[in-house]
């Protein structure tokens, strides 16, 4: 399909939903037998139109981030945060598979998984290693199945969840995705982090794509790299699971749970980005893939080169080398 056409191939309405952008109009085409109101609701969430244009909030950002956001927004216009809570199982699986794997590889794996296991987490969790190895021998798929097994196991082992959460939301129950989606995103994050192999980045990426929580910031290698190169923050640390799973990542206590005491965690430092946090991380991810690569970054073409001390150093070095 073209750049202005999007066809859903899996999940809720998979094979039954097509979206076309014509100027500022969204055309919804569907063969599903659901009401117009429900169809429009799904389309608005899955296109990111549920939130106003993030660019409108750039002026409220701290200066360094404001300048970077302006340049990124110009380079990658129209970026939104689509969410699909009804596809929680698909999204969690895809995010788990994305550890150290390219988008193209993850997409291929996902297509085969959806054909074999659909959205059923229990089917994937109980699959035999031999069946998974027919899809790929890479460690990501076996690890993803193990993570999902451990997440489901909290239904039988509720003691792994803080008693304050159980008192407020009840014991974990089937399906585990509905239990998680029934909580505020900050609490859902703690549940996800209780499972083996689900760290802060996986939890935050999953929540950003399934909750109305645009302030969630998946802290990945691109974020760390670009923040360092632009000198936006000095002396920060990446989120650590052993700390994140014990505290709320917020400034205020809730449900008797304490906020994280870490002052150097990049997620806490970036809290002033507010609802632009997840959007800006998405722009940074795209920029890291396109220009700001770990090796051989394209500094001379980079839209952020005038803001980046590293870019100036690299460009001068390249000029001297050619001389």
**Domain residue ranges of the chain, discontinuous segments joined by +:** 5-47, 85-208, 221-322
With a cut of 70, say whether residue 315 has pLDDT above it. no
The domain defined by 221-322 folds into Endonuclease Iii, domain 2 (1.10.1670)
With a cut of 70, say whether residue 31 has pLDDT above it. yes
Query: How much is the average pLDDT of 37-58?
Result: 97
- State the pLDDT at residue 119: 58
Residues in Cβ contact with 202 at an 8 Å cutoff, skipping those fewer than 6 apart: 92, 95, 96, 99, 192
Q: What long-range pairs does 130-136 form, CB within 8 A, spacing at least 24? A: 135/109, 136/109
With a cut of 80, say whether residue 318 has pLDDT above it. no
Query: How much is the average pLDDT of 214-229?
Result: 96
What percentage of the chain reaches a pLDDT higher than 90? 80
With a cut of 80, say whether residue 65 has pLDDT above it. yes
pLDDT higher for 250 or 48? 48
pLDDT category of residue 312 using cuts at 50, 70 and 90: low
Question: Which of 121-125, 154-158, 179-183 has the least mean pLDDT?
Answer: 121-125
CATH ID of 85-208, from 1.10.340.30, 1.10.1370.20, 3.40.309.10, 3.20.20.10? 1.10.340.30
Query: How much is the average pLDDT of 179-198?
Result: 96
Question: Which of 4-18, 30-44, 117-131 has the least mean pLDDT?
Answer: 117-131
């Amino acid at each position: 399909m073209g750049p202005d056409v999007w066809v859903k191939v899996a999940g809720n309405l998979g094979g039954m939903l097509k979206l076309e952008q014509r100027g500022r109009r969204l055309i919804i085409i569907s063969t599903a037998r659901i009401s117009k109101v429900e169809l429009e609701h799904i389309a608005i969430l899955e296109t990111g139109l549920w939130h106003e244009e993030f660019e409108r909030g750039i002026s409220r950002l701290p200066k360094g981030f404001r300048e970077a956001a302006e340049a990124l927004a110009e380079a990658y216009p129209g970026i939104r945060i689509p969410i699909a809570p009804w596809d929680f199982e698909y999204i969690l699986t895809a995010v788990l598979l994305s550890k150290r794997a390219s988008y193209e590889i993850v997409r291929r794996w996902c297509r085969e998984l959806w054909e074999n296991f659909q959205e059923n987490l229990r089917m994937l969790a109980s699959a035999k290693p031999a069946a998974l190895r027919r899809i790929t021998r890479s460690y990501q798929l076996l690890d993803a199945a193990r993570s999902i097994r451990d997440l489901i196991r909290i239904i039988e082992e509720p003691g792994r969840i803080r008693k304050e959460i159980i008192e407020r939301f009840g014991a974990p129950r089937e399906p585990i995705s509905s239990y998680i989606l029934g909580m505020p995103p900050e609490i859902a994050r703690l549940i996800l982090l209780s499972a083996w192999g689900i760290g802060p980045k996986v939890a935050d990426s999953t929540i950003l794509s399934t909750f109305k929580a645009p302030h969630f910031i998946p802290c990945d290698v691109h974020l760390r790299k670009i923040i360092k190169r632009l000198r936006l923050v000095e002396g920060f640390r990446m989120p650590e699971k052993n700390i994140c799973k014990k505290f709320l990542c917020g400034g205020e206590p809730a449900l008797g749970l304490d906020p994280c005491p870490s002052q150097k965690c990049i997620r806490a430092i970036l809290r002033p980005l507010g609802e632009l946090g997840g959007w800006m991380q998405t722009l940074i991810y795209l920029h890291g893939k396109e220009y700001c690569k770990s090796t051989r970054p394209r500094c001379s073409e980079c839209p952020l080169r005038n803001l980046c001390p590293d870019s100036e150093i690299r460009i001068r070095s390249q000029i001297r080398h050619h001389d």
